[in-house]
Homo-oligomer: A and B are copies of this chain.
Amino acid sequence: MIEPFDDTYFMKKALQEAEIAFEKGEIPVGAVIAIDNRIIARGHNLTETLTDVTAHAEMQTITAAANFLGGKYLQKCTLYVTLEPCQMCAGALYWSQISKIVYGARDEQRGCINLKTKLHPKTTISGGVLADEASALLKRFFVEKRNLN
């Protein structure tokens, strides 16, 4: 029997957000935040649209989730994001005290793991969920961008 609300289910929703970013000409990264198997926030990278380096998918989604919950802490929540969070986003997740972070593709250069960004002691992090799909979308974006220039 297939568990309908597993990590893959939620990561697919995050990938849908990444695809929306792609369509907007944004580096395609998407995220959702879930609590009790329910999605309470969705977001995608909007750095170009908003002309703002802080507008990463995770930041949009953290803000939206806090707004939904009416409180700034995201305890008991899980973030699903198609690309490993950067220092900024991991730093925001530290403040949010989020329970769990699940990412898709690794970001060896700019991701929080190799850069050793401190996470909250209450937070666990794991990755590799639909990583190939997330990477393929990013690669397609950069290939198309190169061909346009």
- Which of A's residues lie within 8 Å of B, judged by CB? 47-48, 51-54, 59, 62-63, 66-67, 70-73, 86-92, 94-96, 115-118
Contact = CB atoms under 8 A, between A and B. Distances in A.
18 contacts: A47-B72, A48-B72, A51-B66, A52-B62, A52-B63, A52-B67, A53-B62, A53-B92, A54-B63, A87-B87, A87-B117, A87-B118, A88-B88, A88-B90, A90-B91, A91-B117, A115-B118, A116-B116
A67 B51 contact: yes
Nearest to A70: B51
Protomer copies: 2
Contacts of A66: 51-53
A54 B91 CA distance: 9
Contacts of A63: 52, 54
Contacts of A89: 88, 91
Contacts of A52: 62-63, 66-67, 72
Contacts of A67: 51-52
Contacts of A86: 91, 95
Nearest to A54: B92
Contact of A88 (B53, B73, B92): B92
Contact of A94 (B87, B95, B116): B87
Given A87-B90, A87-B117, A91-B117, 15 more contacts: A52-B66, A53-B72, A53-B95, A53-B96, A54-B59, A54-B92, A54-B95, A86-B95, A87-B91, A87-B118, A88-B88, A88-B90, A88-B91, A116-B116, A117-B117
